[in-house]
């Protein structure tokens, strides 16, 4: 176990990208992978997606979600159960393995979550009522790629209404 962050990148059929990250504190890498999957599932359901294809560089996560590997750890069993329940709400859920180098943006989101979480942990807590927004809202950003690398040449836009999104979302997750 060590400091951990979860990162997810959701891409709607129309090309809009939603980058998410969440600081987890102390966690194992497998817990972080499941937390990243849950982050993507929660956002996909919130967005009104009916179909979700998840790409992950964690073979353990992918194979457990596919039912090919048993989930033995009590902590992972609970996270797996929650992920299965959320995935079952969708018309279609697919998860597949991708090499780590193809998951760079989700990896970057997880790393940023750790950096930002570490900075917050070293500051004194804000007075009651200060801040207001959750870490998830501060972390997420809608971006519209404008050619080239979407991380470098993107403009923030407001989240669209749920009915403006297409039914499918692709997600890349990294813990």
Lookup: tokens for 170: 């692709």
Of residues 3, 89, 78, the one with CA closest to residue 50: 89
Interval 19-76: pLDDT, tens = 999 999 999 999 999 999 999 999 999 888 899 999 999 999 999 999 999 999 999 9
pTM, full prediction: 0.75
Interval 127-154: pLDDT, tens = 444 433 333 222 334 433 323 333 332 2
DSSP string, 137-161: HHH-EEEEE-SS-TTTSEEEEPPPP
């Amino acid at each position: 176990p060590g400091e951990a962050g979860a990162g997810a990148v959701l891409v709607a059929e129309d090309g809009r990208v939603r980058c998410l990250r969440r600081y987890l504190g102390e966690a194992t890498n497998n817990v972080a992978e499941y937390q990243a999957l849950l982050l993507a599932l929660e956002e996909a359901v919130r967005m009104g997606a009916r179909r979700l294809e998840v790409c992950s560089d964690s073979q353990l996560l992918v194979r457990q979600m596919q039912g090919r590997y048993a989930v033995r750890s009590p902590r992972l069993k609970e996270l797996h159960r929650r992920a299965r329940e959320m995935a079952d709400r969708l018309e279609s859920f697919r998860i597949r393995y991708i090499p780590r180098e193809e998951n760079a943006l989700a990896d970057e989101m997880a790393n940023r979550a750790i950096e930002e979480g570490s900075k917050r942990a070293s500051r004194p807590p804000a007075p009651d009522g200060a801040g207001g927004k959750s870490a998830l809202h501060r972390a997420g950003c809608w971006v519209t790629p404008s050619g080239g690398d979407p991380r470098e040449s993107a403009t923030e836009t407001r989240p669209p209404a749920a009915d403006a999104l297409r039914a499918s979302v692709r997600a890349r997750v990294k813990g």
